[in-house]
Amino acid sequence: MMQKIVSTAGLTRRRGLAAAATVLAAGMAALPTPAVMAAKRKVKLVSGAGAIDSSDVGFFSSIPIGAGFYADEGIDAEVFSVNGSSAAVNLLASGQVQFTNQSNGGLFAGVDKGVPMIAFICQIPDNFFALAVPAGSRIRTVEDLKGKTIGVPSVGGGTVVMMKAVARQIGWINDKDIEYLAVGGGLPALDALQRDRVQALFLWSSPYGLFEGNGAKLTYFVPQPLPQLGFTQTTNVTLQLIKDDPALVAAMARALARSLVFMAAAQPEELTKLHFRVFPDTKPPGLNEADVLRVDRSRLLKQIGYMRFPQRVFERTEKLGDARDVVIEEVRDLLHDGGEIKQALPVDRYFTRRFLADMNNIDFDGIIARAKAFRA
């Protein structure tokens, strides 16, 4: 049974075409102008992360828009965000968007609820979730958190699905031995931790990079089985769209793959500049340019550490966008054993390798060279 559709009224939408025009108008002569396409296919991609406010998510937002990878594939993309994976899945299920980008908990929960969706590219293959407490806290082990409150981005997101499964693995009863409070994924979450409204956070690499960039000192716990997990963030599509228009999904896969290569090779500060030119209203207020670059660099580098760029982009010992069956099974089994999903379905119900050839037959060397030379 699918969840009730969550209204997106009042959400800020990021219109890809307008953003790309803004970038080009800013004088980005370093980027070749994309070939003019006779008729671009309009698509919508929604992120469940709650905000597109940093270059760490550039691989599906500012890079393919600003560097023209969507346009090169004949795609006119509108990229926007909602608060939580369940809201993103609702939009996909109702046909209001064609693609979602979200963490693994949202994908598995959506499939389990009967949404005919599937991942076709895994952009973050390693686990990037962790518990965090202030450095010097009296909480010295994960077990010390029993009876405490943990801050999560939203109560309907994939992150809390993962945390609840981990809690059951530890032996806790959710909402009895441990409580959860929605605090978002930005600086208000850090404020909640510092004011002891929550005693720990369960977030991912990018927010922690943001907090560290703002001077926070944190101690991290990565309880079992998180270190062995992966298949962490994917872009997803409906089974029906794959059936009706596989060429569109293949085009999207190529654009996203080229964006990953570009992200791997470009200078971090140039990706930051690009991101805030494409999404100028997400630039942090009250910070000078040097501070913006410093904080965003911290977020970006934290995220890149989980994306296996050496193996997937530079050495090419692994296929870009792929995920091993055993890793997908481990995530599935954690969520199933923890009661977060009712069914343990075969791997090919969660992930398709149909478009791996499209993603790995791109001009890696040419994109790397272009990214290294890129100046925003």
In the chain, at which residue ranges do the beta strands (DSSP E only) sit? Answer: 13-15, 41-47, 75-81, 99-103, 117-126, 129-134, 149-152, 179-182, 200-204, 218-221, 230-238
Cβ(101)–Cβ(198) below 8 Å: no
Model confidence band, residue 18 (pLDDT cutoffs 50, 70, 90): very low
Cβ(192)–Cβ(183) below 8 Å: yes
Question: What does CATH list as the number for 129-228?
Answer: 3.40.190.10
Both tokens assigned to 294: 């410093």
Q: Domain map of the chain by residue range?
A: 13-125+231-373, 129-228
What's the pLDDT score for residue 185? 86
The predicted-structure confidence for 24-82, as pLDDT tens digits, reads as follows: 333 343 444 444 445 789 999 999 887 899 999 999 999 999 999 999 999 999 999 99
Q: Other CB atoms closer than 10 Å to residue 153's CB: what's the count?
A: 28
Model confidence band, residue 19 (pLDDT cutoffs 50, 70, 90): very low
Rg (Cα) of the chain, in Å, rounded? Answer: 20
Same fold flag, 13-125+231-373 and 129-228: yes
Q: Would you give the end-to-end CA distance of the chain in angstroms?
A: 46
* Sheet (strand 41-47) strand order: 13-15, 75-81, 41-47, 99-103, 230-238, 117-126
Of residues 320 and 23, which shows the higher confidence score? 320
The third-level CATH classification (topology) of the domain covering 13-125+231-373 is D-Maltodextrin-Binding Protein; domain 2 (3.40.190)
pTM metric for this prediction:
0.85
What's the pLDDT score for residue 228? 87
The mean pLDDT value of the chain amounts to 89
What's the pLDDT score for residue 39? 75
Report the share of the chain in percent with pLDDT over 70.
90
